[in-house]
Amino acid sequence: MRPWLPLLIALSANSPLWHGADTGFASWRTVVFGHWPVSGPPPSFRDTHDYDRRTSHLVGEGLIRDSGQLYWHIRLSERYPTVEVRAMDVQLRPDEAVMLAGLLRALATRLLDDDRARPPAPAVTPEVLAAAVWHSARHDCTGTVLDPLSGHLAPAARAVAALLDYLAPVLTATDDGHHVTPVLERLLREGNGAVRQRRTLRRHGRAEFVATIADETTGA
């Protein structure tokens, strides 16, 4: 799932402001979380034993207080038999949060399936992945993003189309497509939360900006 992080961050970017000022980033939260010692895209692990050994070593050496301070974009849950994907910003619209959850469920299912339907995606080196995460946090889905199926930067719309094609069998099987596809297409047309926040602030000022956030968050 690691190569998909930049695209997920680009789609979900929703934190362009900090202390009332435009940061120049679409997801400033991604940058802020990068200040923590164990953060960003996780390293590769051979298996769960390797994961447990290496994370326990961080705690045992006192480098972090406990496993709750593993701020990687993906980590294993301590309480449930699941993978936590933590790369995305909180969303303005509830249906966009549902869409991203549906995408993640379909992506996890697809990645766990056998690889006979499609050749494996090209490997992404740690430095390319880190740079692509920064690129997505800076530019969101208004320009190019890393397409993990090709291993290259591509227009966001093309990367999303490839993602939906890749996930189509799972979205059909789970009947999640109607929660995912139209909302994702609308997001590409209207912009994600970061784009809409900036547009509203620029056109209508601070009072309308705050009212819009409240309305969109509650679904009004």
Nearest residue to 152 (alpha-carbon basis) of 189, 115, 121: 121
pLDDT of residue 93: 93
Nearest residue to 27 (alpha-carbon basis) of 56, 7, 51: 7
Paired sense of beta strands 71-72 and 39-40, if any: parallel
pLDDT average, residue stretch 199-215: 91
Other CB atoms within a 10 A radius of the CB of residue 78 amount to: 11
Residue 150 has pLDDT above 60, yes or no: yes
Distance CA 207, CA 215 (A): 12
Residue 121 has pLDDT above 60, yes or no: no
pLDDT of residue 200: 93
Q: Which residues does 153 contact at the CB level (< 8 Å), separation at least 6?
A: 132, 135, 144, 145, 146, 147
Task: Dihedral sign for Cα 107, 113, 115, 117, please.
Answer: negative
Residue percentage of the chain with pLDDT more than 90: 82
pLDDT of residue 166: 93
pLDDT of residue 120: 55
Task: Dihedral sign for Cα 60, 64, 69, 72, please.
Answer: negative
Q: Token pair for residue 38?
A: 């164990």
Mean pLDDT of all residues in the chain?
92
Distance CA 122, CA 129 (A): 12
Tens of pLDDT, residue by residue over 90-104, are 999 999 999 999 999
Distance of CA 174 to the CA centre of its chain: 21
Helix (H/G/I), strand (E/B), else coil: 155: strand
pLDDT of residue 218: 80
Tens of pLDDT, residue by residue over 18-37, are 998 999 999 999 999 999 99
Distance CA 38, CA 142 (A): 29
Residue 150 or 89, more confident: 89
Residue 117 has pLDDT above 70, yes or no: no
Residue 118 or 110, more confident: 110
Residue 122 has pLDDT above 60, yes or no: no
- Domains recognised in the chain with CATH numbers: 2-27+89-218 (3.30.590.20)
pLDDT of residue 116: 55
pLDDT of residue 215: 87
pLDDT band at residue 7 under the 50/70/90 scheme: very high
On whether the pTM is more than 0.85, the answer is yes
pLDDT of residue 217: 82
